[in-house]
Structure 1
Amino acid sequence: MTDRVPPDGVRIIACIGAGVIGGGWVAYFLANGFRVRAWDPAPDAESRLRALVEAAWPALTELGLAPGASPDDLTVTADLADAVSGADYVQESAPEQLDLKRRLLADIDAVTPEHVVIGSSTSGYGMTEMAVDAVSGHRLVVAHPFNPPYLIPLVEVVGGKRTAADVVTWTAAFLRHVGKSVIVMDQEVPGFIANRLQEALWREALHMVANGEATPAQIDASITDGPGLRWAFHGPMLTFHLAGGPGGMAHMLDHFGPSLLSPWTRLDAPELTPELRDAVVAGTEEEAAGRTIADLVRERDRRLVDMLRVLGKVPGGI
C-alpha cells in the first residue's frame, strides 16, 4: 500500500489488549521512543498497565532507552477506534480464545485505516483461522512474542492464507528495526516453532513428575544448570552438531541415530530417513556459517563462562 509508512518511519503504535503480553509490548515500544495508544475493556486496565510499565522501566533503562523515551508517551483510551486513530502499526494481544480473537480482529480491522498492518500476539492460533471475519485479511499477520516482551527478543512472524507477502516482509523489517530477533516462518504451524519445542519439554517433564521419576526442582535444575546454558547461544541443533565431534552433525546422526528409537521419552520419534538426515546436516552446516567445530567449541566455552559469571555460578566464586 502506498500510504503505509516504511518500517523505520513508524511513530505511533496502537496496543489492543493490555494484559501481561500487551502491557509488555507497551513498555517495549515506549522504551524505543514510540508514542503508544492502548485500549483494553477491563475497568482497571489503565492502572494495571501503568503499574506494569513502571515495574518494567528500571530494566529497560539499564538496557538503554531511545532518546526521549518516556512513559508519558502512553495514552490509554476507552474507545477502540480512538486507540487506532493515527497509528502506524497495531499490535493485538487479547486472551487466547479463538472466538474472541476473531471478533476483536474484525473490529480492529473495521476501524483501522486500510494501509496499517495489524499484528497479533497469539501464541497458538494461526492467522488463517483468526482472520475469518475480517474484511481486510490481507494486512493481518501473527507477531508472536515471548514473555516478557520487553526483555525477550524473539518474535515469530507468519501470515495466514489471506495475508499479503509484503505485510509479512514489512512486519519483520519493523520488528527488527526496533531490536527484535525475528523468525519469519515459511508456513503456519500450530503453536509456531518455539512453543512446539517448549511443549515437548513440558510434556515430558509432566510425565516424569507423574511417574515419580523427577521433582519439579530437579527438572528445572537439569535445564538451568545443564543444556539451558548452551541453548542460550547455540540452541539444540548446534549443540548436537558439537556432540558429533570433528564429524559434526553427520557423525552425530550416523553414530547415535539408532538411539532415537530408545524409549527415553513418551514422544514418538520420527524415522531417521536419509532425507531427514541430510536435511538436518545441511541445515546445521548452514547455521554454522563457516565456523568449524573448533570455532564453535571456543565460542561455546567463552559464552558459557560469561553466562556462569552472570549467574554467579563460577566455581570458587571468582
Structure 2
Amino acid sequence: MTDRTAPDRVRTIACVGAGVIGGGWVAYFLAHGFRVRAWDPAPDAEPRLRTLVEAAWPALAELGLATGAGPENLTVTRELAEAVAGADYVQESAPEQLDLKRRLLADIDAVTPEHVVIGSSTSGYGMTEMAADAASGHRLVVAHPFNPPYLIPLVEVVGGERTAEAVVMWTAEFLRHVGKSVIVMDQEVPGFIANRLQEALWREALHMVANGEATPAQIDASIIDGPGLRWAFHGPMLTFHLAGGPGGMAQMLDHFGPSLLSPWTRLDAPELTQELRDSVVTGTEDAAAGRSIADLVRERDRRLVDVLRVLGKVPGGS
C-alpha cells in the first residue's frame, strides 16, 4: 500500500510477547535506535523484559549501538491496542501453540492500522495456518529468528497463501536494513530451513544418549571442536564440497554416496522415556559444571560477539 512506511524510515516497533524470543527482539530493536512498545499478558512481563534487556545490553554495546539507542526507549503497555498504536512494524513472539497464535494474530490484525506489516517469530508453523482467523491475511508474514535474536543474524522470511508478495519483500528489506541476514523462502515448509536441519541433529543426539552411545558433553564437544568450527563460515554443503577434493561435490557424492544407505543416522524421533529424559537432563547439568543459566547466557553472548567480529559481520570485525 502507498501509505506503508518505507523500510528505512521505520521508527517505532511493537513487540507482542516478551519472553526469551520476544525480549531478544526488543533488545535488538532498542540497540538499533528504535522506539519499542511491548505488550505481554503476563503480570510480571515488564520486570522480566527489562531484566532480559539489561542482560543483553553489554553484548549489544560491545557490537556498537545506534545513535540515541537505549533501554529508556522501551514502553511496556497494559493493552495490546496501545502497543501497536503508531507502530511502523509489529513482531509477534507468543508461545508456540497454534490456537494461541491464531487468536493472537487475529487480535493484532484487528487493532493494528491496515497498512502495517505484522511479522511472526513462529519456529515451526506456516503463516497459512496461523492467519486463518485474521481478516487482513495479506499483511501477515513469518519472520523467524534464531535465539538469541539480539545476536544471531539469521531471519527466515516466508509468507502464507494470503500474504502479499510486496509484504514479503518489504519485511526482507526492513530486516536487512537493521542488520539481519535474511533468507526469503520460496514456499512454506514446516520448521523452515534451519530448524529442520537442527532438529535432525537433535534427534540423532537423543538416540545416542538413549542407547548409551554418547553423553551430552561428548555430543556438544563433537560439534564445538569439529564440524561446528567449519559451519561458522562454510556450512554443511560447502564443507562437503571441499571433502571431495579437486572434484568437489560431484566427487564427494560419487565416492561417499553409497554410505547414505548405511545405518549411520536415525531420523525418527526416539521415545522420550523418563529414563532418557533423566539421562539428558543429568548429563547436561554435568556438562554445565555448576554454571547457572545466567552464567551460560553471558558466556554464550561473549563468545558469539567474538565469532561475529572474527567473521567480519559487525563493525570492528576483521
Q: Please state which band the TM-score falls in when normalised by the shorter chain.
A: 0.7 to 0.9
Structure 1: gaps of 5 or more residues: 269-305, 311-318
The 5 Å alignment of 1:243-258 reads 243-258=243-258
The 5 Å alignment of 1:81-92 reads 81-92=81-92
Q: How many residues align?
A: 272
Secondary structure at the counterpart of residue 90 of structure 1: strand
1:224 is matched by which residue type in structure 2? I
Over residues 290-311 of structure 1, what are the superposed CA-to-partner deviations in whole Å (9 max), with x where a residue is unaligned?
xxxxxxxxxxxxxxxx96x98x
1:159 is matched by which residue type in structure 2? G
Over residues 225-272 of structure 1, what are the superposed CA-to-partner deviations in whole Å (9 max), with x where a residue is unaligned?
00000000100000000000011001101111111111111138xxxx
2:202 is matched by which residue type in structure 1? W
With normalisation by structure 2, the TM-score equals 0.84
> Identity, % of aligned pairs?
90
Q: What is the match of residue 125 of structure 2?
A: 125
2:131 is matched by which residue type in structure 1? A
Kindly indicate whether residue 234 of structure 2 is the aligned counterpart of residue 228 of structure 1. Answer: no
Q: What is the match of residue 70 of structure 1?
A: 70
RMSD of aligned Cα (Å): 1.3
Distance in 2 of aligned mates of 1:264 and 1:50? 45
Distance in 1 of aligned mates of 2:25 and 2:188? 23
Structure 2: gaps of 5 or more residues: 269-305, 311-318
Q: What is the match of residue 259 of structure 2?
A: 259
> How much has 1:47 moved relative to structure 2?
0.5
Secondary structure at the counterpart of residue 38 of structure 2: strand
Q: What is the match of residue 59 of structure 1?
A: 59
Distance in 1 of aligned mates of 2:201 and 2:267? 10
Secondary structure at the counterpart of residue 18 of structure 2: coil
Distance in 2 of aligned mates of 1:80 and 1:210? 44
The 5 Å alignment of 1:1-318 reads 1-267=1-267
Q: Which runs of at least 4 in structure 1 moved beyond 4 Å after TM superposition?
A: none
Secondary structure at the counterpart of residue 143 of structure 1: strand
With normalisation by structure 1, the TM-score equals 0.84
1:16 is matched by which residue type in structure 2? V
Distance in 2 of aligned mates of 1:79 and 1:206? 42
Distance in 2 of aligned mates of 1:210 and 1:30? 43
Structure index of larger Rg? 1
Distance in 2 of aligned mates of 1:221 and 1:55? 26
Distance in 2 of aligned mates of 1:267 and 1:31? 39
